[in-house]
Amino acid sequence: MEPVLAPDRASEQIDPTAFKAVLGRFCSGVTVITAIHEGEPVGFACQSFASLSIDPPLVSFFPARTSSTWPRIRAAGRFCVNILADDQSELCRQLGRPGADKFSGVEWTVSGNGSPLLGGAMATIDCTLHDEVDGGDHTIVIARVSGLNEHSEAAPLLFYRAAFGRLAHQ
């Protein structure tokens, strides 16, 4: 297979389509990050989530600069990372597109820090905002973990090459 990109190209010559095609080969799970803002649930689907540090306990994720939801979660200052199970692709789609009715029909309860805990999530991580760093057209959020919950032994929802998937042996 021909290489999509020469390794010595300057970053300004990187074609965004090639960038997405190549980086899309990095398979991940999917989360929905939720908070309460002015009494209403807010949230967005987020693939760019990672464990960052055990001591202190930190996680990280990358909201787009264009996100209308992240500023509201930032204002809340505390939020919940919901790790989705493999039967939650529709929920992920609903919370992965802009719109005022993202939580329409969504079952949720309240997590330990008062954020929406989505029904069916396999695990949840309560966090507070620790730091925010420039990440180009995204922002790098560093969050301090304040609570951890395992909810089920369900298999994870996967995201790979712009499509949902599940573990082959499940």
Site residues for ligand FMN per CB under 6 A: 30, 44-48, 62-64, 67-69, 92-93, 96-98, 159
Distance of closest approach, residue 97 Cβ to ligand FMN, in angstroms: 6
Residue number with CB closer to ligand FMN (2 or 134): 134
The span from the CA of 91 to the CA of 100, in Å, is 15
Report in angstroms how near the CB of residue 1 gets to ligand FMN at its nearest.
26
* Shortest reach from residue 139's CB to ligand FMN, in Å: 9
**What DSSP state is assigned to residue 154?**
P
Q: Which is nearer to ligand FMN, 8 or 101 (CB)?
A: 101
Cα separation, 3 vs 85, whole angstroms: 34
Nearer to ligand FMN, 9 or 77 (CB): 77
How far apart (Å, rounded) are the C-alpha atoms in residues 35 and 126?
10
Output 72 or 78, the one with its CB closest to ligand FMN: 72
d(CA 36, CA 101): 14
Minimal distance, residue 24 CB to ligand FMN, in Å: 11
Cα-Cα-Cα-Cα torsion 110, 113, 118, 124, nearest 10 degrees, comes to -140
